[in-house]
Amino acid sequence: MLHLLRDALFPVLVFLHAVLVGAPANHGRGRFQRARYQVRKVGRLPRSVRESSGLARADTLGTFWTHGDGGSPAHLTEFALPGAVRRQLDLSPLPNKDWEDLARDPTGRLYIGDFGNNRSQRSDLAIYRLDWSGGRPVVDTIAFHYADQTAFPPRRGRRNFDCEAFYFYQDTLHLFSKDRSLRQLTKHYVLPARPGHHVAVLRDSLRLGRPITAADVSPDGRTVALLGYGGVFFFANAPGCRLFDGPKRFRALPRTGQAEGLAFLTDSTLLVGNEKGRLWRLRPRARSAN
């Protein structure tokens, strides 16, 4: 009974810790500058969308895809702001063991990350690639495992193989771990965006001070945004450089609750959604003329 209570309360403790610590510390990798964004609530999904765990742009201008996480039906829901549902795509019998994020490539294919792994014990991690250029959805599977994981599960202090955030960039999928300990070490992995079984290679890591729950890259490829409890991190995506080595910015979001979805609307504007379906837009503040 005690271990069940501990497992139930630990995410709450991690969330409160992340919000209270504020901006991430400088761990010798360059300072986080303040990201000057206006945050405005722009809508809410209807109750028929039980949970919003991921966001991605749809083909129609101004519309988006979302989905629920583990235990939800294997559905993708397309909606338009401020939250009107346009259609629902039933992907059953595709399993939804723990869908956590969506990504989109320039051709319009969607990638569903079935890689939620709370206790770091899964050996069936997968990303499903959807291509409906022929009129009907065709699903391929990208199965993978982490290069640095050898135990399923590892010891409790080393269980950093949960993932809720990824994006597509130049034929590669970039994954970011959700560290459930108070260390809050985010690991950045890469793997090919093609069907088959692949190894997710560890590229870098950085203590960001909060769990990461979503990711996206701007349409021009120059900015990567990582959503965490209570804030958004912005990284310059410079060719030939590790993501965490470049310029960094941070924008606190103390009132968005457990936000788990993020998508770029333009090269500088983003949509953020929480698990209850509330939606916010982040837009750069105009610089003062003084």
Neighbours of 80 (CB within 10 A): 15
In the chain, DSSP finds a helix count (H) and a strand count (E) of: 1, 21
Above 60 in pLDDT, residue 5? no
Token readout for 89 is 């795509």
Which has more pLDDT, 157 or 88?
88
Residue 121 CB partners (closer than 8 Å, separation 6+)? 152, 153
Return d(Cα 259, Cα 275) in angstroms, integer: 6
pLDDT on residue 212: 96
pLDDT on residue 30: 83
Has residue 156 been placed in a domain? yes
Length of the chain: 290
* Residue (of 151, 123, 226, 149) closest to 184 by Cα position: 226
Q: What is the mean predicted confidence (pLDDT) over 157-176?
A: 96
Beta carbons of 169 and 179 less than 8 angstroms apart: no
Above 70 in pLDDT, residue 54? yes
Beta carbons of 263 and 64 less than 8 angstroms apart: yes
DSSP three-state, residue 23: coil
- pTM of the model as a whole: 0.91
Above 90 in pLDDT, residue 234? yes
Has residue 289 been placed in a domain? no
pLDDT band at 279 (very low <50, low <70, confident <90, very high): very high
Has residue 53 been placed in a domain? yes
Neighbours of 172 (CB within 10 A): 13
Please give the helix or strand (H or E) that residue 116 lies within, else none: none
Which has more pLDDT, 55 or 254?
55
Return d(Cα 143, Cα 125) in angstroms, integer: 6
We report the CATH number of the domain holding residue 16 as 2.120.10
Has residue 181 been placed in a domain? yes
pLDDT band at 237 (very low <50, low <70, confident <90, very high): very high
Beta carbons of 208 and 224 less than 8 angstroms apart: no
Q: Of all residues in the chain, what percent carry a pLDDT higher than 70?
A: 89
64-111 tens-digit pLDDT = 999 998 889 999 999 999 999 999 999 999 999 999 999 999 999 999
N- to C-terminal Cα distance for the chain? 61
DSSP state of 28: S
CA angle centred on 67, ends 44 and 168, rounded to 5°: 110
- Give the HSE-up count for residue 229: Cα atoms under 13 Å, Cβ half-sphere: 22
Q: What is the mean predicted confidence (pLDDT) over 223-227?
A: 98
Q: What is the mean predicted confidence (pLDDT) over 133-141?
A: 87
Has residue 290 been placed in a domain? no
Has residue 106 been placed in a domain? yes
pLDDT band at 14 (very low <50, low <70, confident <90, very high): low
* Residue (of 26, 14, 12) closest to 160 by Cα position: 14
Q: What is the mean predicted confidence (pLDDT) over 215-237?
A: 97
Has residue 144 been placed in a domain? yes
pLDDT on residue 4: 46
Containing structural domain, residue 175: 2-22+30-284
Has residue 115 been placed in a domain? yes
pLDDT band at 61 (very low <50, low <70, confident <90, very high): confident
Return d(Cα 25, Cα 18) in angstroms, integer: 12
Domain tally, the chain: 1
Above 80 in pLDDT, residue 16? no
Return d(Cα 223, Cα 245) in angstroms, integer: 13
Question: What sign has the CA pseudo-torsion 160, 161, 166, 170?
Answer: positive
